[in-house]
Amino acid sequence: MSDKVYDITIVGGGIVGVATAYKVQKQFPKLNILLLEKETQLANHQTGRNSGVIHSGLYYKPGSYKAKNCVAGRRELVQFAKDHKVAHDVCGKVVVATDESELPFLEKIFNNGIANDTEGIEKIDGNKVKEIEPFCEGIAGIWVPCTGIIDYVGTTNKLAELTIGIQPESKIIKDCKVTDFHKSDNHNVIVTNTHGKFKTKKMIFCGGLFSDRLAKKDNVKLDMQIVGFRGDYYDLTEQGMHKVKNLIYPVPNPAFPFLGVHFTRMIHGGVECGPNAVFTFKREGYGKTDFKLQDSIQALTYKGTWKLFLKHWRFGLDEYKRAFSKKLFLNRLQKLIPSLTMDDIQPGRAGVRAMALGHDGEMIEDFKIEYQDDSIHVLNAPSPAATACLAIGEQVKDMAEKHFNL
């Protein structure tokens, strides 16, 4: 074990962890920061497996951390991408209603967007929807010009590069899994990991899918647990790709805690369709049959999981059917683009979302960040956390400045 004592150690090399390192380092350039990532590359899980969308702030409850951080974070992220030549395109999207029953909720999210200062949004009719996306069929919609697409892995790596550029004594170590941490006699924290041991004064945890386990290890009292939900994507084939210009979203079903399958042009080419949302038996299980005993037992012995299942069993059953049926997945996509055929889509990648569930089975909607003694825990940072990463990093930096006496 080295005698060097780091000022702050950050656990987790997703975009939130790295953005936090960048924000703290930028504000306090003399600090020695250590960031530990268990994978061989940064942004390997939720960051690198999301849809790559720069979210607008349309869906989130006005006044919530999600709403504030999404809008502020989006503006800062776009400027960051411009300044540092990160691949991005503010191309806009349409949210499309295909049935009269969806119009009240379309109105609600439009009003959310206005309250959240989502600039440029406008209500449009079916003709305007078709003008923007010629193959899409809808009766009404919302045009959201400030939504875009971006390379989130590239953003994460650029943030890491800039962090080390500010303070070369700081370190980002990959392929380094944290296995334990405890206070030593001189009040420093000893962080045990697969590279050995490091000493640090303070810790910030940005563990994503494992945020709850890291918090429990730190004796944080939790009112939630992370439960993983896999999202499967299809890609448009070469013959189907001309049917989507940019981004097409459905009106979310207010009874179901996901946005629904949508079409997304990707920043490095291609168009993705999805995702669905199915319970996964492994927290980092990207295959349909992936299984890990510890993850399964923890999820299935948690009462919040069963309350969620009971409340949404009909939706959950439909999602599972679509996970194993290309035809059923296509049927859902055809709600927005009726001309799609089986030959227009092919199986794509998958991601896993860390859903924070309360004991009552309700999804914890807002970002959740807590501090205890010498540590800060980012406990819940689902979508739009990637869009909001710089704003979340700023928030964690402010908490660190106050509670760590920086």
- Report whether pLDDT(272) > 70: yes
Tell me, what CATH number does 333's domain have? 3.30.9
Q: Has residue 262 been placed in a domain?
A: yes
User: Mean of the pLDDT values across residues 273-286?
Assistant: 94
Q: Has residue 246 been placed in a domain?
A: yes
Q: Are 73 and 54 in contact (CB under 8 A)?
A: no
Please tell me the predicted confidence (pLDDT) of residue 45: 96
Q: Are residues 200 and 229 in the same domain?
A: no
Q: What backbone torsions phi and psi does residue 272 show, to the nearest 5 degrees? A: -100, 150
| Greatest distance between any 2 Cα atoms in the chain | 70
How many Å apart are CA 253 and CA 30, to the nearest integer? 48
User: Mean of the pLDDT values across residues 188-193?
Assistant: 94
Q: Is 293 exposed, middle or buried (0-12, 13-18, 19+ CB in 10 A)?
A: exposed
Measured CA distances, 285 to 11, 282, 289, 292, 352 (Å) = 21, 5, 8, 8, 7
Q: What is the CB neighbour count within 10 angstroms for residue 111?
A: 11
Q: Are residues 189 and 317 in the same domain?
A: no
DSSP 83: H
Residue 3: pLDDT band with limits 50, 70, 90: confident
Q: Has residue 134 been placed in a domain?
A: no
- Report whether pLDDT(257) > 70: no
DSSP 223: S
Q: Are residues 195 and 335 in the same domain?
A: no
For 121-153, how does the pLDDT look when each residue is reduced to its tens digit (9 = 90+)? 999 999 999 999 999 999 999 999 999 999 999
Please tell me the predicted confidence (pLDDT) of residue 273: 96
Q: Are residues 277 and 352 in the same domain?
A: yes
Please tell me the predicted confidence (pLDDT) of residue 184: 84
Stated as kind and residue range, the H or E segment containing 392 is: helix 389-403
Which residue, chain included where needed, has tokens 């439909």? 318
Measured CA distances, 55 to 6, 87, 222 (Å) = 35, 16, 29
- Report whether pLDDT(54) > 80: yes
Q: Are residues 230 and 379 in the same domain?
A: no
Query: pTM of whole model > 0.85?
Result: yes
In this structure, the strands spanning 278-279 and 271-274 are unpaired
Q: Are residues 205 and 303 in the same domain?
A: no
Please tell me the predicted confidence (pLDDT) of residue 185: 74
- Range of the structural domain that residue 270 is part of: 225-358
Q: Are residues 175 and 232 in the same domain?
A: no
Q: For 144, what's the count of Cα atoms within 13 Å in the CB-facing half-sphere?
A: 32
For 386-398, how does the pLDDT look when each residue is reduced to its tens digit (9 = 90+)? 999 999 999 999 9
Query: For 116-176, where are the alpha helices, taking DSSP H only?
Result: 126-132, 152-166
Question: What amino acid is encoded at 8 in this protein?
Answer: I
Please tell me the predicted confidence (pLDDT) of residue 242: 97
- Report whether pLDDT(156) > 80: yes
What's the whole-number average pLDDT of the chain?
95
Q: Are residues 256 and 162 in the same domain?
A: no
Q: Are residues 210 and 194 in the same domain?
A: yes
